[in-house]
Structure 1
């Protein structure tokens, strides 16, 4: 069974760049352990804003 990706690594890097924390994650196999809960939560907000722009 194929697994749907919610956010691909490009979108995650976009969200990190918008927040100014892209330097805390590196590469396609990103380590998000360096981010706070709030920063991770902001990924959802940014992704939803981007999705709404496409509609």
Structure 2
């Protein structure tokens, strides 16, 4: 994953270093990683898939 991506940490993450998810969304792809291991493995999904996932979470919450 590119270092030029702008990563955002989940609003549900805290400063205690718990389970944190970061996402960097481009027009075509959403990149998802664990903030504790930013150089480790991550996921890349189509941006439309990420948007549908977030929308479903909002409806269920």
Compute the TM-score of the two structures, normalised by the length of structure 2.
0.32
More strand by share: 2
Compute the TM-score of the two structures, normalised by the length of structure 1.
0.35
* Structure with larger RCO (C-alpha < 8 A, sep 6+): 1
More helix by share: 1
